[in-house]
Amino acid sequence: MKLRLGMIGGGQGAFIGGVHRLAAALDGQYELVAGAFSSNPATSRASGQQLGLDPARVYGSYQELIAQEKARPAAERVQVISIVTPNHLHFAPARLALESGFDVVLDKPMTFSLAEAKELATVVAATGRHLCLTHTYTGYPMVKEARQLVGSGALGRIRKVYVEYPQGWLSRFEEGGANKQAAWRTDPARSGVAGAMGDIGTHAFNLLEYVSGLQVEKLCAALHTVVEGRRLDDDGAVLLRLSGGASGVLIATQVAAGEENNVRIRVYGEQGGVDWMQAEANTLLVKWLDRPTEIMRTGAAYVGAYARHNTRTPAGHPEGYLEAFANLYRNFALTLQAAQAGQQAPPEALDYPGIADGVRGMAFIENVIASSQSEQKWTDFTV
């Protein structure tokens, strides 16, 4: 049976809300039945009408949505609330939704600050509700294959990790015009203390820890604001010291003119390495010290259980960003459905980013800012 979904944010003119709706619908596990799509009630109503929703379940605020849906009979009310607002509007609706008995899908970064993230973790623990954080790139089959291969020990002890996220869309001062995305993502009051490092650096950080299975313990960051007049960083690099003695480099920039979203991660161990990039998302390169490089492909019979679970089409049929996003929604749905039946979901379905990832992501942002502003070469990673 489909889970009844409500959405906060993502109305007309928003980018990520449409992506969330497509991802949630892809596997037929959710039905969007309610929403507060904008802080402007008229925009919310117009968005709900465009989506074909019952006008009675299109609300003018997230408080109204949560209160009125909670008051509905259990068989009618929403079960999951997806929050796709700008960063500064993540915490309050997520906390209220969890405390009101709803499970939550939340866009990244999880909150506006580390303090909010820690408080939200306390709420999740106290309520026993579930939270899925949409770090999209962990949903790709070949990213999961890379993680499983690294975790198997086949590459030996991990020594080096490189992760990069280059974009070019903010190479000019876009926030001065009609570009709503540029306006809020470069506004400290809405985005938070970091620009590029908060927006895409958190994706790179999450991907690094997810694939390598290691955690950042120390870092040395250099952040830059390249475009004149911009209030937050738009370029940066971080040297990393990881658990187990490995080291790493993380690069995130939004002023690499001509670049789109070619996220890339490389992990090297004693015996070999893995190399994945979003531009060739169906391919994982496995490089060996003493034999030729292997080219692993999505949908092939030789991939592991996690990659198979998150693959929809036969080999040779491309799967991309929407499918990776949908994998997070589907795995979350399978987890919730199993919990409702008093069962435990299979490990492949439990593999989605959650509250702990969100706390570490916010810690990454604040540690990077502190390191960049410090005269010390290295600073400890604290949560």
The C-alpha atoms of residue 87 and residue 75 are separated, in whole angstroms, by 32
3-129 and 141-314+360-373 share one fold:
no
Mapped onto helix, strand or coil, the DSSP state of residue 332 is: helix
Report pLDDT for 176.
87
Report pLDDT for 203.
98
Q: Could you report the per-residue pLDDT of 8-63, keeping only the tens digit for each?
A: 999 998 889 999 999 999 999 999 999 999 999 999 999 999 999 999 999 999 99
Task: Say which residues have a Cβ less than 8 Å from residue 109's Cβ, sequence separation at least 6.
Answer: 87, 90, 192, 198, 202, 358, 361, 362, 365
Domain ranges of the chain: 3-129, 141-314+360-373
Pick the CATH number of 141-314+360-373 from 2.60.120.260, 3.40.50.720, 3.30.360.10, 3.90.45.10: 3.30.360.10
Percent of all residues in the chain with a pLDDT value above 70, rounded to a whole number: 100
Is 106's pLDDT higher than 90? yes
Pairing of strands 247-253, 283-288: unpaired
The C-alpha atoms of residue 66 and residue 84 are separated, in whole angstroms, by 15
Is residue 131 within 8 Å of 107, Cβ to Cβ? no
Q: Could you report the per-residue pLDDT of 285-310, keeping only the tens digit for each?
A: 999 999 999 999 999 999 999 999 99
Instruction: Kindly report the CATH number that applies to the domain delimited by 3-129.
Output: 3.40.50.720
Q: Could you report the per-residue pLDDT of 253-273, keeping only the tens digit for each?
A: 999 999 999 999 999 999 999
Q: Could you report the per-residue pLDDT of 172-220, keeping only the tens digit for each?
A: 999 988 898 999 999 999 999 999 999 999 999 999 999 999 999 999 9
Exposed e or buried b per residue across 7-46, where buried means at least 16 C-beta atoms within 10 angstroms of its C-beta = bbbbbeebebbebbbebbbbbebbebbbbbbbeeeebbbb
Give CA angle at 92 (90, 94), nearest 5°. Answer: 65
